[in-house]
A and B are shown apart, each in its own frame.
Chain A
Amino acid sequence: MNLLNIDNLHASIGEEKILNGFSLKINSGETHAIMGPNGSGKSTLSYVLSGKDDYNVAQGKIFLKNKNIIDLSADERAKLGLFLAFQYPIELPGVTGMTFLRTIINSSRIAKDLPELEGIELVKIIREKAAKLEISQDMLKRFVNVGFSGGEKKRFEILQMSLLDPSIAVLDETDSGLDVDALRTVGNGVTNLKNKDKGMLVITHYQRLLDHIVPDFVHIMVNGKILESGGPELAKVVEKEGYKRFIDAD
């Protein structure tokens, strides 16, 4: 089943055009990786997909499970099953991890016509999933992302992803700011969430994340569009030769 279909997307911020006819299809069970040099539009793609207001979408369509979501707000897209793991997760002083997770779980359940969860049942689910990602109870009592290390922030993103169980997860440079051990924990956490019903879009500069989250397809993005697509071997070429060849070809 086709989960995400991005068709000829053009987007800009202010006067600057960033996405220039980006197209991509992701079917259920597939993991796609987008690699590209700095400034190629990778993070913009993730923000435009998830509905951030700052961008002007001039042309193109985004179908999520065959529904065009281009006019939907960020929360409506999330409720339909789209999840963005942020490159730089936002700090929420005054909002504890537990309160935040409770709220997002129940927002998601309401969207799926499921009864809200409360009390021990809810806490148990959160704790179990947190433990798998080596997230301590203490961390859940703290304000969201405030004072978290780079690794803690990324693990907290993956915890949210595991609790929301999205159809399509977009991981924006999840490897940035991670040491080798944290990369393994996060990589394994994401890999454990892969299944035949989900699709994933992994955005990264480097091959190293793809050692842990093995993609089915790798796409090279330059100047806001895909220049070349291939299998996992394409990431190895980038690792060896860099992006120069693709930039020159554009």
Chain B
Amino acid sequence: MLINIKPSKSILDFCLPYKKNFSDLVWPNSKIETWKMTPLNKFINYKDEFKVESYYETNIDNKIDILKEIDSNHIHFLKSDFFKNNKMTDVILSNTLNAFEVFLPDNFSSNSYVNFSSIVKNNTWASSVIIIKTGKNVKANIKFDYSLTSNSLCTPLILFDIDDNSNLSFGLNVINKGNLLKNSNFITLIEGNINKHSNLDMVVTQQGVNMSRSDININLKNDFSSFNLTGIYFGREKHHKDITACVNHIAQSTSSNQIVRGILDGSSVGVYQGGIKVAPNAQKTDGKQMSRALLLSKLAESNSKPELEIFADDVTCAHGATIGELDKDQFFYLLSRGISYDEARDMLIKAYLSEILNEVQNEFLYNQLDYAINFWLNEFNSKVAA
């Protein structure tokens, strides 16, 4: 089913003050602390006129009534501090042409998944606003796949509001054949509000497009809420990949875990900015973040910036970041067994990523990571063969 729900009057009214021509937009630049390592004004460089349009395909059965217009009661989600203070919000809302809400009512439970996919055509800018809202006792899997073409821009803004006792698994994949693209940029803003005894498991994969950034802000608003992020980015040529995530522990006994892995070839650049903020009342917080980047070439670069801001005294928080290359001794060991150079390299990359795969218990999310890894390895090997 093709979705192009025109923005409702309430959201059009909300967006009106942001309305601007593309040439007049002010992109987040290096003067803003969180955009220092990914200044968009350096990346966004389109010579041709853009067509503004946005479509999603979905596997939702017509009989399941979970797609809605965003009504005036939910506009307040877009007025949060995160969206209000993020310069990218202004850019997204300046040309939003597709906006919808996925509403999963109380006790909705499904082991299958709801899929949304969007292909952004040549010379097109696709900007969308999506609210994913659950009732109580919901269990669901949702996946968004984005595929770009040359000279395209994709800027979805996604908001989660997860009510009590719910468990949502969410995958966001940007996948493309990297060597075919020029000037393709993907920037998403994601905010999540997670309530009592609820959990959001999120997998973010980025590969192929020239520049991509997933900017995530999660609010663990009520006791015993939790959030897990598993992120992988694959860079090659001059790609720039960025996963920026901040988890705000606002209530007691909340937990979060951010694991990010990057593989960088060519002269690509990877960025991970991870934040854990613990409010004074958020005792018994358990927050972790770990990033690792694997550099496959001398020119590849990785920048990590883990940050902790803790105002409670009974908390467990951990963070770490490592950057490395494939181990020469491991390589030699595999070669000495008659394994070819390419196969040895693939084995070691897969081994490097296996740790992250092993962390993901959810089969739906595991399959997405596995697919993304194998897609990249095939791409990588075809480039090497060429």
Contact = CB atoms under 8 A, between A and B. Distances in A.
A76 to B, nearest CB: 8
Contacts of A164: 337-338
Interface stretch (B227-235, B240-248, B351-359): B351-359
Interface stretch (B75-83, B266-274, B325-333): B325-333
A50 B333 CA distance: 10
A148 B309 CA distance: 40
Interface string B344-365: 1001101111110000000000
Interface residues of B, number: 23
A84 interface: yes
B350 A94 contact: yes
A196 to B, nearest CB: 23
Contact of A53 (B330, B332, B343, B353): B332
A191 to B, nearest CB: 22
Given A73-B341, A75-B340, A75-B341, A94 B351 contact: yes
Contacts of B353: 94
A104 B339 contact: yes
A92 interface: yes
A95 B347 contact: yes
A178 B344 CA distance: 29
Contacts of A160: 337
Contacts of B337: 75, 78, 100, 103-104, 107, 160, 164
A108 B344 CA distance: 14
Contacts of B348: 92, 95
A108 B330 contact: no
B85 interface: no
A84 B335 CA distance: 11
Interface residues on A, range: 20 to 34
Contacts of B110: none
Contacts of A100: 337, 347
Interface string B304-339: 000000000000000000000000111011111111
Interface in A71-103: 73-75, 77-79, 83-84, 86, 89-95, 100, 103
Interface in A47-74: 50-53, 73-74
A111 interface: yes
Contacts of A74: 332, 335-336
A90 B352 CA distance: 15
B340 A51 contact: no
Given A53-B332, A74-B332, A90-B329, A107 B339 contact: yes
A73 B333 contact: no
Among B329, B334, B336, B347, max chain A CB count under 10 A is at: B336
B338 A111 contact: yes
A249 to B, nearest CB: 34
Contact of A94 (B333, B341, B355): B355
Given A94-B351, A103-B347, A52 B332 contact: yes
B338 A94 contact: no
Interface string B139-154: 0000000000000000
A107 B333 contact: no
A5 B343 CA distance: 30
A75 B332 CA distance: 9
A91 B334 CA distance: 11
Given A74-B336, A95-B347, A107-B338, 16 more contacts: A53-B328, A53-B332, A73-B335, A74-B332, A74-B335, A75-B339, A75-B340, A78-B338, A90-B333, A92-B330, A92-B333, A94-B355, A95-B354, A103-B339, A104-B339, A107-B337
Interface of B: 328-330, 332-341, 343-344, 347-348, 350-355
18 contacts: A50-B336, A52-B332, A75-B337, A75-B340, A77-B336, A79-B338, A90-B329, A92-B330, A92-B348, A95-B354, A100-B347, A103-B339, A103-B347, A104-B338, A107-B337, A108-B338, A160-B337, A164-B337
Interface of A: 50-53, 73-75, 77-79, 83-84, 86, 89-95, 100, 103-104, 107-108, 111, 160, 164
Q: Nearest 7 CB-CB pairs, A to B? A: A94-B351, A78-B338, A74-B335, A94-B354, A90-B333, A104-B337, A75-B335
